[in-house]
Amino acid sequence: MSGPSTYEPKSGITRWLDRRLPILRLTHDSFVAYPTPRNLNYWWTFGAMLSLCLIVQIVTGIVLAMHYVPHIDMAFASVQRIDRDVPFGWLIQNIHSVGASMFFLAVYIHMFRGLYYGSYKAPRELLWILGCIIYLLMVATGFLGYTLPWGQMSFWGATVITNLLGALPLVGESIKNWLMGGFSVDQPTINRFFSLHYLLPFVIAGVVALHVWALHEAGQNNPVGVDVKSKADTVPFTPHATIKDLFATTLFVILFAVFVFYMPDALGHADNFIPANPLQTPPEIVPEWYLLPFYAILRAFDFNIGPIDSKLAGVLAMFASIGVLFILPWLDTSRVRSMRYRPIARQFFVIFVVVCVFLGWCGGQNPGNILLKAGQFTATLSWVAEGQLSERSIEAPTAAQWQETADAAEAEARSQGADMTAVTRTGETTGTIRVVTGGNPELQTVEASTPDLLEEHIAEMKAEVGQAAPFYTVVRSLPPRFTVTNFSQVLTLYYFLFFLVILPILGLRERPDRVPDTIAKPIAQGAP
Amino acid sequence: MAEAAHNTQDGETTRRDFIYIAGASVAAVGVAATIWPFIDQMNPAADTRALSTTEVDLAAVPEGQQIKVMWQGKPVFVRHRTAAEIASAQRDDFANLKDPQTDADRLVQENGEAGQPAWLILQASCTHLGCVPTFVEGSAFGGWFCPCHGSDYDTSGRIRRGPAPKNLLVAPYLFTGPTAIRIG
Amino acid sequence: MLRAISAAAVLVLAGVGVAWAAVHGEEPEKYPFSFESPVGSYDMAAVQRGFQVYNQVCANCHSMNHLAYRHLGEEGGPFALYMVQNEETHQPEPHVGRPEHGGEFVEVTDNPYVRAIAQSHMITDIDPNSGQPTDRPGRISDRFRRPFPNEIAARASNGGAAPPDLSVITHARHGGAPYVRSLLMGYDGQTRGTLHHNPYFPGGWLAMAPPLADGAVPYADTETPQTVEQYATDVATFLQWAADPHMEARKRLGIVVLAFLLALSGLLYLAYKQVWRGESH
């Protein structure tokens, strides 16, 4: 579409068609004669793979919809029927579920490529934003689709996400009700999720058309990041880009096929093979792998920020982590597009990729898991064995004076030769004091690697001692630790710093390497 | 391919063309093979195919009555014919029939053995456009009448008058006991 | 920096290993199941024996709602029937299970073994004449007989814990078939009230009493040991088949598809090299 059309109809029929509906001209100008920078590397082939993924998902999805039943009592069984009884149903269902993962794998590489080579900078801001919209729609479609098999993960994922949207101020409650269509995730929910899951891919296809249109208007970016200046900088799209895309896409399909045929369930979760049960939450709820980084950001906020409670903060941060991508073209102040010529930004970019991977890892872990700790968790139990146990009730004059009264009673007991005392409060002002006199003081220390295990060991120790000890004093020593949540917090901080601080400041201060004048020049000089 | 012109050596042209043709053919085979599962999935699934038999207890059908049972999602008439109906059917074996067939032929079981004249097992779809005919006592030919377009069938289910081209189809059935049959 | 990252990764992974063992049960014992490798197939004799174990033991409490008797005789099923030409008499002979080579598959509707299995179970149905609930012999199109009419009954009869459906149990549990096998063999005899201790079960205590005992299921094939370990292995194999009945077809097709794709990518690579010859990039 850049430059005048070079299409010349050769036969009478094409001339006739060209006067009335110049669709061949459009195809020729967009996908045949279209000038492509000659230095595009393999990172530029993911667009073709993504088109393939969209087509595959739509075709397999339409086929699955011929057999799937969106009903809470039949959805799970209908998926089982597809896998068992429908001719080639197992194949088509595997392609569809693995396809979602492949789609996201390709889109993430595509996005990181755009980030590295500055493909969001003028004049491609809208192109980038349209891409972000496609990504958001993909997330929505993926989530809706994941609920349809109506397994445990489906059900509880739907419950968690609808509640999460419900946390949004003002509109949240309404959105939640519109999605659920009832008081909980139930029959109306699965019905409308199915409807929307069928609809959104076609919306994606529409936005993809805009994305491609915008791409062809602005022209493709390239690894050097300088604009096309002459015909020497480009090759025709067909056959040069087409054949390269085809080759790379075939390699991608090989990976796809390995998953479909040899590990179709590797990317799923075992709990989704358990039919949905509204009475029981699975021990751990995790989304599909491609949403794990956002899940980690959501869970990183376990503290209130002023008037914003932790739940809302997590939700807002999660949306902001995608929202920040929309304004990225205006956050990055550097005039150099490609990070190939930005040595410092390149290093921050590598850290950013690693951070995203680790965020994904954190999203899949139990948030309380301890990654690092200063020492073992220990507890010291002390008790008196074979002592004389006596018990009496105490009463404070007012509730406020309870502590004083209790302390006084204990001090009194000790002055009378008690070895150990314990006060149990039974009411506002009443309680009992138990006193052990005589006997042998005993001491035991237990050690564990997590606080939960420590409590377990304490309980075991108590069971072991049994009747010999009337009661215990337990002193716990919990050294500082670094949990998955803490790790997520650090990673989340970097995620936002990268976009909101590093890119804006670095763009102004960094001294970039020398950028070639034209695309053709470094090639002529033999550089990659 | 614009640069095809500046290839001078013949051998090179041949080799290049071979790669392109081979690549395109292999890809075409792949596309064709990929289409098959997407077509085949529309065929009846294994559970649907397995439901293709229906067992019927004949003891519950008194003489002169019929029941409709479902077989493969379609209705089937199981008619307990009276002696008069049987006689009428056999008498018309050599009448002027649109779709000539003897009554005995229409009673043959799935395995080729002769059936019992009292039991007529018919697919309840008019051979015209698929409506379910009604058994009308005392109708022109004593048998079924299709309310949609007025086809008349006799007591053997043969077409005698009206737009239907063929006799009512006999459902494949087998006697599995003195008073039990399996359809399909 | 790379070194720092990898050190952090090692620390993180070590921490996870510890945590995993605490929350989940003990790691299932490894067993070289025949279906595990990318070219592995089901040991159909084990699947058949496993079905017998399920049928005589597990089926008293556990449903398999997504399986029908006909599945046993469909292609890839343990009782699939093939007609094989006898090499001496040149007469076709029935052969249960996929033969080494040749053999013509017999449609499951004509499979006497599957019909016999179906008819040996009484299925609750509606009497077509009276409309009242009645029991009748099973047909091949029937789903496996349910031990309890509904989940409430299942729970009420089992001390409040409904036995899970086993149709896809090896998919629905971390650890898959080795987990099922280890669990069945892993009871150590400790009990607490109605609960039984099993180190492989997450949390350690489960409501299911040890279901298997040596010699409890008489195998027709006397060569095979009739031990808990053998029963557990066989039933785990059967349950894996039940969860993934098309695995053999899937792996076979996978080889063809991958071979095709490799050839295609080779050709496309050559074509790509050809197109870009003489183009600097």
Name the closest residue on chain C to residue B67, using Cα atoms: C129
Q: What span, in angstroms and rounded, lies between the C-alpha atoms of B42 and C194? A: 50
pLDDT higher than 70, residue A55: yes
Instruction: Tell me: do A233 and A129 sit in the same domain.
Output: yes
Q: Do A239 and C275 touch (CB under 8 A)?
A: yes
Per-domain residue ranges for chain C? Answer: 24-63+148-245, 68-142
Q: Are residues B164 and B76 in the same domain?
A: yes
Is B37–A88 a contact, with Cβ atoms under 8 angstroms apart? Answer: yes
Of A214 and A308, which is predicted with more confidence?
Answer: A214
**A169 and A213 inside one domain:** yes
Q: pLDDT digits over A449-471, tens only?
A: 888 888 888 888 888 887 777 77
Judged on CB neighbours under 10 Å (0-12, 13-18, 19+), B184 is middle
Whether residue B102 sits in one domain with residue B53:
yes
Say yes or no: B20 and B69 in one domain. no
CA distance B171 to chain C (A): 17
Same domain, A13 and A160: no
Is residue A262 exposed (0-12), middle (13-18) or buried (19+ Cβ within 10 Å)?
A: middle
Residues A22 and A68 in one domain: no
Q: Across the interface, do C109 and B50 touch by the CB < 8 Å criterion? A: yes
| Interface with B, mutate which of C110, C114, C270, C276 (most B CBs under 10 A) | C270
Question: Which residues of B are marked as active site?
Answer: 149
Same domain, A92 and A174: yes
Question: Are the beta carbons of C274 and B52 separated by less than 8 Å?
Answer: no
Write the CATH number for A260.
Answer: 1.20.810.10
Let me know whether B114 and B150 are in one domain.
Answer: yes
Closest CA to A154 of A58, A267, A280, A287: A287
Q: Cβ B50–C70 below 8 Å, yes or no?
A: yes
- Cβ neighbours of A236 in B, within 8 Å: 2
**Are B126 and B163 within one domain?**
yes
For chain B, say whether C280 makes contact (Cβ under 8 Å).
Answer: no
- Candidate from B41, B47, B48 with C-beta closest to A88: B41
For residues A45 and A29, membership in a common domain is answered with no
3-state secondary structure labels for all residues of C215-233: CCCCCCCCCCCCCHHHHHH
Residue with tokens 């999602």: B73
Q: Which residue of B has its CA nearest to C267?
A: B23
Angstroms from A81 CA to nearest CA on chain B: 8
H or E stretch covering A404: helix A402-415
Q: Are residues A14 and A74 in the same domain?
A: no
Distance in angstroms (rounded) separating the CA atoms of residues A275 and A141: 21
Reply yes or no on whether the pLDDT at A216 is more than 50: yes
Q: Which residues of B touch A87 (CB under 8 A)?
A: 37, 40-41, 43, 45-46
Q: Please indicate whether residue A525 or residue A484 has the higher confidence score (pLDDT).
A: A484
Percent of chain B at pLDDT exceeding 70: 93
Domain limits at A228? 41-281
Nearest-CB residue to C141 (from B16, B23, B50): B50
| pLDDT 10s digits, C115-170 | 999 999 999 998 877 889 999 899 899 999 999 999 899 999 988 889 999 999 99
Is the pLDDT at B6 greater than 70, yes or no? no
Note down pLDDT in tens along chain C; length 281 residues: 444 444 444 444 444 444 444 456 889 999 999 999 999 999 999 999 999 999 999 999 999 999 999 999 999 999 999 999 888 888 888 888 888 887 899 988 889 999 999 999 999 998 877 889 999 899 899 999 999 999 899 999 988 889 999 999 999 999 999 999 999 999 999 999 889 999 999 989 999 999 999 999 999 988 999 999 999 999 999 999 999 999 999 999 999 999 999 999 999 999 999 999 878 76
Which tens digits make up the pLDDT trace of A267-287? 999 999 999 999 989 988 889
Same domain, A127 and A14: no
Q: Are residues B119 and B161 in the same domain?
A: yes
Distances (CA, A) of C213 to A172, C57, C58, C228, C231: 57, 10, 13, 6, 9
Question: B124 and B179, same structural domain?
Answer: yes
Q: What average pLDDT score do residues A54-68 get?
A: 97
8 Å CB contact of A91 and C250: yes
The pLDDT of residue A524 is: 60
pLDDT at A417: 78
One domain, residues A85 and A9: no
Kindly report the CATH number that applies to the domain delimited by C24-63+148-245.
1.10.760.10
Q: Minimal Cα–Cα distance from A239 to chain B, Å? A: 7
CB contact under 8 A, C261 and A250: yes
In whole angstroms, give the CA distance from residue B181 to residue B179: 7
Q: Kindly report, residue by residue over A122-172, the tens digit of the pLDDT.
A: 999 999 999 999 999 999 999 999 999 999 999 999 999 999 899 888 999
Q: Could you tell me which chain A residue has the CA closest to the CA of C169?
A: A273
Range of the domain at B101: 49-183
Q: Domain holding B105: CATH number?
A: 2.102.10.10
In a domain, A344, yes or no: no
Domain boundary among A227, A257, A281: A281
Residue B57 contacts C, CB cutoff 8 Å: yes
Residue B37 forms contact with A (CB below 8 Å) = yes
Structural domains in chain B (count): 2
What's the structural domain count of chain A?
3
Q: For the complex shown, is ipTM > 0.95? A: no
pLDDT for A90 equals 97
Cβ contacts of A274 on chain C, cutoff 8 Å: 164, 172
Q: Which residues contact A442 (CB under 8 A, 6 or more apart)?
A: A382, A383, A384, A385, A465, A469
Residues A50 and A27 in one domain: no
Inter-chain CB proximity A86 and B45 less than 8 Å:
yes
Judged by CB atoms within 8 Å, which residues 45-64 of B form the interface with A?
45-48
Say if residue A104 is in the same domain as residue A219.
yes
